[in-house]
Amino acid sequence: MLKIGTQSEWIARAQAVLPGGGFGNFDPNIIIRDGKGSRVWDEDGNEYIDYLIGSGPMMLGHGHPEVLEAVFEQLPKGMTFFANNAAGIELAEQICDAVPCAQQLRYVSSGGEADMYAIRAARAFTGRDKIVKFEGGYHGMSAEAQMSLAPARTVNFPQAVPDSAGIPDSVAAEMLIAPFNDFDYIRSLLAEYGEQVAGIIVEPLQRIIPPLPGFLQLLRDEADKHGIVLIFDEVVTGFRFSYGGAQELYGVTPDICTLGKVIGGGFPLAAIAGRADIMAHFDKAAVGPEKWMMQLGTLSGNPVAAVAGMKTMEILRREGQYDRLRQTGQQIMQMTHAALDRHGIPHRVVGHPTLFEVVFTARKVRDYRDVMNSNTAAQSAYNSVLHSEGLFKSPGKTYPSLAITDDDLERTQAAISKAADHLATLG
């Protein structure tokens, strides 16, 4: 049983045993004690409206009673088996029914793992090595994904800039970096390198930046033209933008997609899903030892995560759920516009009603460099006031959930108004 302590005591304990005093995910100076519905509480008992929601998976809010019931029913039957189980099989069927590109899937435990295997599958299928990635795109923690994720300095495309120590130079040599939403650049890049490229990996909504009309279709067309595997990283957007994900919303079907967050209902679960001929590389009997791609994981297809995911997906299928989620997001976006417009503060609210953020700039936000060149000091000051007013959120994203209530929205509007007032005093 956990010992009782103040937040400052837990922070001191964390600093002794954790590098940087944290798990590497979020502000280590906030220690969350528990969550229920739309709210979380820290170890000092401070209450927040949660717009972080575990970085996305808790679309239904914390402790949804139907999800808990499904989990409690599974727990006495077994927590993990390292073997096939009925819950994992049934969840796979439901995912394949819902997601346009998914003919088959393979489970892993995290979205980053899924992205790593998706890149590897593209290489196995094509016999090529190079991967196209978009500057600022997040695809987990693999060596390839840590190229030009958040470069502090700009370089000429398609040069890759490593964002982490410990990555061999040879990895950068196999990565081609492109600006998101640049039609002409991706055409010219693939005209030069297309026959060497195994895969294009892209977030359909890059962090918070929507694709320009026709951009995802261009990637589809160029991938077909050059025999390249198109990978949509839908770890965030899958089952969030719509039941069939961003590929359903935007009407463009990739060859492979990666899924996570929502499909585990708050438990560690992710998947690579795609065309059967590509997924066959996970099956040695189908492709032979030379083309086989080894993949295993202790918790892959974990039955507790699978039942939580199935119940979450069942609830999302109910009438009006996505309309309600989008309406909540639209209300917060409108609140933000109104409060900042009142003071004439230059800004853009960027993203989709189910995932968005305010960027303090007067120019359109089309790619990573537009975000990087925005007023980040204003962003930091704005988020600081939101936190002090009881909103718990990422510095760069706002995740609405289905647990948000009318009272939460009233408190959110007051916090946004106060944050905008504060920015106005800074000049």
The predicted pLDDT at position 5 comes to: 83
Only one residue has tokens 């489970």, namely: 107
* Token pair of 12 as six digits: 């001191």
SS3 readout for the chain: CCCCCCHHHHHHHHHHHCHHHCCCCCCCCCCEEEEEECEEEECCCCEEEECCHHHCCCCCCECCHHHHHHHHHHHHHCCCCCCCCHHHHHHHHHHHHHCCCCCEEEEECCHHHHHHHHHHHHHHHHCCCEEEEECCCCCCCCCCCCECCCCCCCCCCCCCCECCCCCCHHHHHCEEEECCCCHHHHHHHHHHHHHHEEEEEECCCECCECCCCCHHHHHHHHHHHHCCEEEEECCCCECCCECCHHHHHHCCCCCEEEECHHHHCCCCCEEEEECHHHHHHHCHHHHCCCCCCCCCCCCCCCHHHHHHHHHHHHHHCCCCHHHHHHHHHHHHHHHHHHHHHHCCCCCEEEEECCEEEEECCCCCCCCHHHHHCCCHHHHHHHHHHHHHCCEECCCCCECCCCCCCHHHHHHHHHHHHHHHHHHHHHC
Mean pLDDT of the chain: 96
- Give the number of other CB atoms < 10 A from CB of residue 378: 20
Q: Give the span between the Cα atoms of 300 and 115, in whole angstroms.
A: 15
Residue 343 φ then ψ, to 5°: -105, 5
Q: What percent of the chain clears pLDDT 90, i.e. is strictly above it?
A: 98
Spatial contact of 349 and 333, defined as CB atoms under 8 Å apart: yes
Per-residue pLDDT tens digits for 414-425: 999 999 999 999
Predicted TM-score of the model (pTM): 0.96
Q: 386: buried, middle or exposed (CB in 10 Å: 19+, 13-18, 0-12)?
A: buried
The predicted pLDDT at position 1 comes to: 60
Per-residue pLDDT tens digits for 311-355: 999 999 999 999 999 999 999 999 999 999 999 999 999 999 999
Per-residue pLDDT tens digits for 156-181: 999 999 999 999 999 999 999 999 99
278 CA to centre of own chain = 23
Q: Is the pLDDT of residue 46 over 80?
A: yes
CATH architecture classification, 31-63+319-426: Alpha-Beta Complex (3.90)
Q: Give the span between the Cα atoms of 186 and 217, in whole angstroms.
A: 12
7 CA to centre of own chain = 28
CATH architecture classification, 65-316: 3-Layer(aba) Sandwich (3.40)
Spatial contact of 121 and 278, defined as CB atoms under 8 Å apart: yes
**pLDDT band at 298, cuts 50/70/90?**
very high
The predicted pLDDT at position 427 comes to: 73
- Which distant-in-sequence residues (6+ apart) come within 8 Å of 8 by Cβ? none
Q: Is the pLDDT of residue 49 over 70?
A: yes
Whole-number Cα distances in Å, 410 to 42, 46, 406, 414: 22, 18, 6, 6
Q: Give the span between the Cα atoms of 124 and 127, in whole angstroms.
A: 5
Q: Is the pLDDT of residue 227 over 90?
A: yes
Q: What percent of the chain clears pLDDT 70, i.e. is strictly above it?
A: 99
Which residues are identified as catalytic?
A: 138, 233, 261
Residue 3 φ then ψ, to 5°: -75, 150
Whole-number Cα distances in Å, 101 to 96, 127, 207: 8, 21, 21
The predicted pLDDT at position 152 comes to: 85
Which residues of the chain are in CATH 3.40.640.10 domains? Answer: 65-316
The predicted pLDDT at position 4 comes to: 76
Spatial contact of 142 and 116, defined as CB atoms under 8 Å apart: yes
The predicted pLDDT at position 153 comes to: 84
Pairing of strands 130-134, 175-178: parallel
Q: Give the span between the Cα atoms of 77 and 82, in whole angstroms.
A: 14
* Token pair of 287 as six digits: 């492709």
Spatial contact of 231 and 122, defined as CB atoms under 8 Å apart: yes
